[in-house]
Amino acid sequence: MADAPSFPHQHLLGIQGLSPLEISALLDLAEEEIAVSRQIEKKKQTLRGRTQINLFFEASTRTQSSFELAGKRLGADVMNMAVAVSSVKKGETLIDTAMTLNAMRPDILVVRHHSAGAVELLAQKVECSVINAGDGAHEHPTQALLDALTIRRHKGRLQGLKVAICGDIRHSRVARSNIILLQAMGAQIRLIAPSTLLPTAIDRFGVDIFNDMRQGLVGVDVVMMLRLQRERMSAAYVPSIREYFRYYGLDVEKLALAAPDALVMHPGPMNRGVEIDPLVADGPQSVIREQVEMGVAVRMAVLEALAQHLPNR
């Protein structure tokens, strides 16, 4: 198996700052990791003897377990740390935690935090490589990479595809990372949401915006649904769940407006009956479970790419 391609970054803090070539190289490497994960012996040695700490300030099942498996399949010792944060003294707590962990000499820190920018701040304080596993409504780079890998495997390319990102874009780091990645790779992006669920400076993104889901879905190759993030909402952004599902929920009838072979995606966790009909989520066009498998592969690829910058290599 080929060595990891050279990757000039010590950390992965976002998709912003990655070149299209670097993105493609990570996806190519992830293809090899899929093969490893499908073997009986799912082990490589790249991170043997290394320590990976998963530091999660926000609850997560899927992303944390995916990073844990990825690290273990590369031979690292993986420790999971869930940190409950008191709402006071956040900045201080974050830096204190970082310094404490740094003293334990980890090689890689995987960090999720509820505030945008917190992971970058932490990366400045520690000596090891840092991976952003989601910071507030800012970025979630490994999610965008796994989405891109899933799409590329089905469509053979990203360039020129029409991708609709639908729902709670305002609160979504997944949407942001996907917009940056897909634009860099030459896809055409449509955002579909009620105005209340769009970020304020949305015109800066250079994407097409639709408030009417039926119009936005016409002819698209990929429909990416987002969870309605009620825990992040400080006010009532939607009149009612029933109303939301009627206008912005992906059901069989609305999906029929997309290309006949359009992929249905969702980063999870799904609110069935809120943003997506179970018939669509479990239907023939859904690649939602495949996204989970691609998640482990992409995280292995990122860990391997960053491992080049660990000392003694």
- Of all residues in the shown chain, the one whose CB is closest to ligand NCD is 227
CB 96 within 8 Å of CB 121: no
Sign of the C-alpha dihedral computed for residues 173, 174, 175 and 178 taken in this order: positive
Q: Which is nearer to ligand NCD, 50 or 140 (CB)?
A: 140
Nearest distance, CB of residue 173 and ligand NCD, angstroms: 5
43, 75 Cβ separation under 8 angstroms: yes
- Alpha carbons 74 and 32: distance in angstroms, whole number: 13
With respect to ligand NCD, which residue has the nearer C-beta, 149 or 174?
174
Of 7, 11, 16, 10, give the one whose Cα is nearest residue 177: 16
Secondary structure (3-state) at 192: strand
Query: Nearer to ligand NCD by C-beta: 46 or 52?
Result: 52
Nearer to ligand NCD, 4 or 189 (CB): 189
Closest distance between ligand NCD and the C-beta of residue 164, in Å?
Answer: 17
- Please say which residue, 50 or 56, places its beta carbon nearer to ligand NCD: 56
Minimum CB separation of residue 171 from ligand NCD in Å reads 8
Helices (H), the chain: 20-38, 62-73, 90-103, 118-125, 141-155, 173-184, 213-217, 241-248, 252-255, 278-281, 288-307
Q: Which is nearer to ligand NCD, 170 or 227 (CB)?
A: 227
Which pair of tokens denotes residue 73?
Answer: 């399949």
Least separation in angstroms between CB 35 and ligand NCD: 24
Taking the complex as a whole, the smallest distance from the CB of residue 50 to ligand NCD amounts, in Å, to: 24
- φ/ψ (deg, to 5) at 272: -65, 135
SS3 of 117-143: CHHHHHHHHCCCEEEEEEECCCECHHH
Nearer to ligand NCD, 107 or 275 (CB): 275
Least distance CB 104 / ligand NCD (angstroms):
26
Only one residue has tokens 């490497």, namely 29
Q: Name the residues that contact ligand NCD, by CB under 6 A.
A: 62-63, 134, 140, 143, 173-174, 227, 229, 267-268
The distance of closest approach from Cβ of residue 5 to ligand NCD in the complex, given in angstroms and rounded to an integer, is 25
Coil vs helix vs strand at 266: coil
Report, in Å, the least distance between residue 134 CB and ligand NCD.
Answer: 5
- CA–CA separation, 274 and 80 (whole Å): 31
Rounded Cα distance, 221 and 160, in Å? 10
- Judged by CB, which is closer to ligand NCD: 276, or 307? 276
